[in-house]
Amino acid sequence: MKRFLPLSSALLTASLVVAGCGGASDSTDGSGGGASASSGKATLSLVAYSTPQVVYDELIPAFNKTPEGKGIGFKTSFGASGDQSRAVEAGQKADVVSFSTEPDVTRLVKAGLVAKDWNATPNKGLVTTSLVSFIVRKGNPKHIRTWADLLKPGVKVLTPNPFTSGAAKWNILAAYGQASGGGKDDAAGLKYVGDLIKKHVVVQDKSGREALQNFTSGTGDVLLSYEYEATTAQRKGEKVDFVTPDDTIKINIDIAKTVKADPASQKFIDYVLSKPGQEAFASWGYRPVNAEVLAANKAKFPDPAHEFTIEDLGGWAKVNDTLFDPDKGSIAKIEADAGVSTDK
Amino acid sequence: MLEQSRPARLTLRVVALGYLALLLGIPVGVVLYRTFEHGIAPVWDAITTPAAISAFTLTLEVAAIAVPLNTVLGILTALVLVRGRFRGKAVLEAIVDLPFAISPIVVGLALVLVYGRIGWFGPWLADHGIQIIFSLPGIVIATVFVSLPFVAREVAPVLREIGDEQEQAAATLGASSWQTFTRITLPAIRWGVAYGIVLTVARCIGEFGAVSIVSGKISGETETLTLLVEKRFNNFDLAGAYAASALLAIIALATLLAMTRLNPRKDHQS
Amino acid sequence: MSPSLATDNGLSEVPPASPAGPPGCSRLRARPHRRARAGGTGPLGTGVVTIWLSLIVLLPLAAVTAKSFDDGAGRFWDVVTQRQAVNALIFTLVVSLLAAAINAVMGTLVAWVLVRDDFRGKSAVNALIDLPFALPTIVAGLTLIALYGKNSPVGIDVTYTRTAVLLALMFVTLPFVVRSVQPVLLELDREMEEASTSLGASPGQTFRRIVLPNLRPAILSGAALSFARAVGEFGSIVLISGNVPFKTEVSAVYIFKLQESSDNPISASAVSVVLLGVSLLVLIGIRVFERRGDQRA
């Protein structure tokens, strides 16, 4: 016990010392960003959703090598889109934000943190786009090609839950949209989604990444996902193939700067949208919004026969209200019914 | 000492170890196997990136603040709960356990509601240029919250078990309260304190949910080791995630080792 | 730390020497609340602890509670009585109690073996116990799914079942009972056990009558903590349970769902408050049970 006391006092002292200097944790950037914030130039805070981190890990050092980006430091934060948006709303410092669904930007517009005209840009606020696609097992043993194939007997489908992952709403919207002729026939759309969720979706994981993990762990025949996620997974060594159906929804990924953003933010956004920036996105499977880069990568990004957008379905405000409202939305009801049937 | 027959002893041993193996040993083995699957070099690389080093440092910093705070106040709480006699003790007692019963997301949410931009103290804090959420203080508060009950809960049963006769005897003989505490009470509860510290450290370094909400996950700045593990998982870097986890396991093991080394063995004493 | 930590007015109340039994006897069952002096740690200690708990625990909880009533009591009631909410709550409570009960028994056993038994590699086993806390929950989930998932090497597949949730909870709450029983066992006087055995009691009798009553507060305390932790657990469950509504969805996941999909934290706060209230009741129940045992002994 005599040796015990020095320990507790040592711990206490340590805590005081650390508490004293703890505030000044101006440590390095970590994510391979390259430049440090020491040169007196601006430091930009990038708050983004998690999947494109691989792209930004390449873009930031490349940007720092350009005359515009020389000496600009970066603080990066990646996480689930909704979490990130809520964090910025709650006071996390951000100069540039990028989210996987528009309502996450809208939240910040409502909070007065992002300008109302954020999407009045040549690209309508988009940084990249993608398509809802099917991730299948290597070699596509179940010959999944179309949305109808998902409803064949015995086909097991995975999708992240649209109520825990904002981005997963794209999957459900794709299924709904293709069956309803781009939103024209609501009943047909809901019937397809109902059949899919009640009879074929084995489980709905919390996030897209977790769903992919469960898929690679052996569950299911098809994972509803996005073109870029499939490409990224392949480049990271996951043994999966993907199929883009001939009728699907275009996914919008937004980028915006905050109202109090450092002037250098615009330079960074310009770089991200420039040719080299968009090439980096294309190399990870993200469809470029830069027409020139898209044309150069046409072979990699074939256009499906039919393609619709969120606007065709009435926009986010409408689908969130009619389909995804947790109390009265049609999809919420389908989910609840599906739950009851598994409960039996 | 309770004499056990040899078969009984062996049975107990087999059951206990079997349970541990299935629930704990094999999973931990899997983590270690996955970590060192491709040799030690990639592991070393994964834990020496700037992000990993900074996450490691931050994790230790947070633990170095949260653990002593929770140790000192935890011992005090246990004394108050066991030896004290006052109105509302039962309520106080239940409050001590509450931090566990709350889902980590709610802890994060609660802290944002108190200290966030539009929270109760948010505007005042902003006016005075104090950043709590999305910086070190926020992470520390969340960590203190989730690991608060351990020391108190480890020490209380021991205090109850040892009774207070010796303390009273010491007081009768004229010892001051502080002397009584350091000479009589503390030695008696030292194992409780030691395990309390071990658990507190483990919980502090392993916490994810609450910290992920209040940290802002700024790479190299407010990213703890568990957040780094999650980020690596999200980026398909499972090997890196396992390597960072192994680092966490090592911190926990080192704490336990330190505590058992610092505590003299009971057998030698009696 | 409070300067009046130990005894203020303990002078007058020297414990009566127990007339019967060996010296160790009086230590067998401590009944501090019967002979405790008023305010064993002094009012200062009590004050410090109260302020500490208020600041760290109660303040944030008050914020959540206040938030949950932002839309009025009617809306609060609507949210928490949703079928899915009630279902998740009941499942959470049942599975948490089950995990706590299993670990109460198995944890005591493990602690016993670690303290009283002696075998090769004991210290290594002892070192493993705390790892479920230190490992990030996502890693716990990953290893559990690697072991007990679709491609299980041991041939056990529990994915998307309620067993999976129980398994994950047993894993994350394992250390509590072990680590609360262990120190008490270490401090426990063995004289009484020896006396009991020499008087002809069987090992089973000695354990039930002598050892168990002494361990009871520690076991219950550990079980209470296990339960509390299980109720709030989230990270380790999500991967292997699949969060199937009405089946494997626990309240923590449901709360997350509300938070993510309803765009304001009011509903999420409401469900949290109910979960919190129920947990508090269970915790108080366990304490009352513990105290009653204390007085009976």
Confidence of residue B86 (pLDDT cuts 50, 70, 90): confident
Find the CB nearest B2 among C138, C211, C268.
Answer: C211
Residue C220 falls in which region: left (phi positive, over 0), alpha (psi -120 to 50) or beta? alpha
Comparing C95 with A326, the larger pLDDT belongs to C95
Q: Average of pLDDT values for B45-71? A: 94
Give yes or no for residue C41 having a pLDDT over 70: no
pLDDT of the residue at B270: 35
Looking at the partner chain, which of B171, B230, B245 has a beta carbon nearest the beta carbon of C7?
B171
**A216 touching C, CB under 8 A?**
no
pLDDT at C156 > cutoff 60: yes
B58–A25: do the CB atoms touch at under 8 Å?
yes
Size of interface A-B (CB pairs under 8 A): 147
pLDDT of residue A9: 44
Average pLDDT, integer, range A189-197 = 95
The pLDDT of residue A340: 54
- Tokens 């070393």 belong to B44
Q: Does B65 contact A209 at a Cβ distance shorter than 8 Å?
A: no
pLDDT confidence of residue C145: 84
pLDDT at A306: 92
Average pLDDT of the segment spanning A333-343: 68
How far apart are the C-alpha atoms of B237 and B247, rounded to whole Å?
16
Q: Report the pLDDT value the prediction gives residue B105, as an integer from 0 to 100.
A: 82
Count how many domains chain C has. 1
Q: What percent of chain B has pLDDT over 70?
A: 96
Close Cβ partners of A318 (under 8 Å, ≥ 6 residues apart): none
By three-state DSSP, how is residue A53 classified?
helix
Neighbours of C179 (CB within 10 A): 29
Mean pLDDT of A246-251: 95
Q: Which two tokens stand for residue C207?
A: 């354990």
Spell out the residues 6+ positions from residue C285 whose beta carbon is closer than 8 angstroms to its own: none
Q: What percent of chain C has pLDDT over 70?
A: 85
CATH classification of the domain holding C200: 1.10.3720.10
Neighbours, chain A (3 or more CB pairs < 8 A): B, C
Across chain B, mean pLDDT equals: 87
Residues from chain A that touch B223, judged by Cβ atoms under 8 A, are: 30
Q: Does residue C153 sit at the A interface (CB-CB below 8 Å)?
A: no
Single-letter code of the amino acid located at A290: N
Nearest CA in chain A to C75: A327
pLDDT band at B204 (very low <50, low <70, confident <90, very high): very high
pLDDT band at C113 (very low <50, low <70, confident <90, very high): very high
Are residues B17 and C113, on separate chains, in Cβ contact within 8 Å? yes
C255: nearest Cα among B209, A51, A210: B209
Q: pLDDT grade, residue A68 (50/70/90)? A: very high
Report the gap between the CA of C111 and the closest CA in chain B (Å).
9
**Three-state SS for C271?**
helix
Written as one string, the DSSP assignment of B71-104 is HHHHHHHHHHHHH---TTHHHHHHHHHHHHHS-H
Max mean pLDDT among A123-137, A198-212, C111-125 falls in: A123-137
Question: How many helical (H) and strand (E) elements, i.e. helices and strands, does chain A have?
Answer: 14, 11
Query: What is the pTM (predicted TM-score) of this model?
Result: 0.85
Q: Is residue C135 part of a domain?
A: yes
Q: State percent of chain A over pLDDT 90.
A: 72
CB of B235 within 8 Å of any CB in chain C? no
Instruction: Average the pLDDT over each of A15-19, A327-331, C240-244 and give the range with the smallest value.
Output: A15-19
pLDDT in tens, C255-296: 988 888 877 789 899 999 998 888 888 888 887 887 776 555
Closest approach of C93 to chain B, Cα-based (Å)? 11
Chain A's closest residue to C152, CA to CA, is A217
Do A196 and A208 meet the contact criterion of CB atoms below 8 Å apart?
no
Q: pLDDT grade, residue B6 (50/70/90)? A: confident
Residues of chain B in contact with residue A5, where contact means CB-CB under 8 angstroms, are 182, 186
The band of B264, judged by pLDDT with boundaries at 50, 70 and 90, is low
pLDDT for C34 equals 37
How far away is chain C from the Cα of B129, in angstroms, using its nearest Cα?
21
- Touching subunits for chain B (3+ Cβ pairs under 8 A): A, C
Tens-digit pLDDT profile for residues B144-193? 999 998 899 889 888 888 888 888 888 888 888 888 888 888 888 988 89
- Mean pLDDT across A88-94: 92
pLDDT attached to residue A99: 96
Mark yes or no for CB contact A218/C256 under 8 Å. Answer: no
Most confident of A61-70, B111-120, C150-159: A61-70
- In the stretch 40-99 of chain B, residues with CB closer than 8 A to chain C read 72-73, 75-77, 79-80, 82-86, 90, 92-99
| Number of residues in chain B | 270
B193 touches chain A (CB under 8 A): yes
A128 phi and psi, to 5 degrees? -165, 165
Per the domain annotation, does C106 fall within a domain? yes
**In chain C, what is the greatest distance between 2 CA atoms, to the nearest angstrom?**
69
How sure is the predictor about B26, in pLDDT bands with cuts at 50, 70 and 90?
confident
What pLDDT shows up at residue A203? 87
CA distance B219 to chain C (A): 18
| Structure confidence at residue A249 (pLDDT) | 96
Nearest residue in C to A84, CA atom: C260
Query: Which of A143-147, A320-324, C128-132 has the least mean pLDDT?
Result: C128-132
Give the mean model confidence (pLDDT) for residues A128-147: 95
pLDDT above 60: residue B268: no
Query: Do residues A190 and A184 touch, judged by C-beta distance below 8 A?
Result: no
B185 part of contact set with chain C, CB < 8 Å: yes
Q: What is the mean pLDDT of residues A286-312?
A: 93
Identity of the residue in C126, C184, C259 whose CB atom sits nearest the CB atom of B161: C184
Residues facing A158 on adjacent strands: A203, A223
Domain membership flag for residue C242: yes
Burial label for C288, CB within 10 Å (0-12, 13-18, 19+), is exposed
Whether B175 contacts B224, CB under 8 Å: no
Least confident window among A258-267, B198-207, C71-80, C127-136: C127-136
**pLDDT for A339:** 67
* Contact call for A204 and C149, based on CB within 8 A: no
Tell me how far apart the alpha carbons of residues C72 and A223 are, in angstroms, rounded to a whole number. 41
Name the A residues in 95-114 with CB < 8 Å from any C CB.
103, 107
Does a structural domain hold residue C104? Answer: yes
Q: Pick from A82, A206, A336: which is nearest to C245 by CB?
A: A336
* Domain assignment present for C145: yes
**Residues B105, C45: C-beta atoms closer than 8 Å:** no
Give the pLDDT of residue A29: 36
How far does the CA of residue C113 sit from the closest CA of chain B (Å)?
Answer: 6
The better pLDDT of the pair B117, A12 is held by B117
Selected for mutation to probe chain A from B217, B232, B266 (highest A CB count within 10 Å) is B217
Q: Is-contact A101 A107, C-beta < 8 A?
A: no
pLDDT of residue C31: 40
| Domain that includes residue C279, residue range | 72-296
Q: Identify the weakest region by mean pLDDT among B43-47, B181-185, C187-191.
A: C187-191
Closest CB to A206: pick one of C243, C261, C262. C243
Q: Which of A253, A234, A220 is nearest to A100 (CA)?
A: A253
Handedness of CA C258, C259, C264, C267 (dihedral sign): positive
CB < 8 Å to C242, chain A:
202-205, 214
* pLDDT greater than 50 at residue A24: no
Query: Do the chains contact at C246 and A343, CB–CB below 8 Å?
Result: yes
Q: Cβ separation of C258 and A326 shorter than 8 Å? A: yes
B136 to A5: CB separation less than 8 angstroms, yes or no: no
- Testing the interface with A: which of C78, C82, C244, C260 to mutate, by most A Cβ within 10 A? C260
User: Are C260 and A165 in contact (CB < 8 Å)?
Assistant: yes
All domains in chain A, ordered by first residue: 32-128+252-296 (3.40.190.10), 130-251+304-343 (3.40.190.10)
Look at C44 and A211; give whichever has higher pLDDT.
A211
CB contact C261 to A (< 8 Å): yes
pLDDT of residue C209: 86
Task: List the chains bordering chain C where 3 or more Cβ pairs fall under 8 Å.
Answer: A, B
The Cα B245–Cα A146 span in angstroms is 41
pLDDT in tens, A143-166: 999 999 999 999 999 999 999 888
What are the tens digits of pLDDT across the range C204-216? 888 888 889 889 9
What does the alpha-carbon distance between residue B38 and residue B28 come to, in Å, rounded to a whole number? 17
Contact C43, B215 (CB under 8 A): no
Choose between C224 and B265: higher pLDDT. Answer: C224
Contact residues on chain B for A209, CB-CB shorter than 8 A: 233-234
Among A12, A137, A201, A203, pick the best mutation site for testing chain C contact (most C Cβ within 10 A): A203
Among B161, B167, B186, B231, the strongest candidate for a mutation testing the C interface, having the largest count of C CBs within 10 A, is: B161
Q: Is the pLDDT of residue A40 over 90?
A: no
Answer for the pair C197, C151: CB distance below 8 angstroms, yes or no.
no
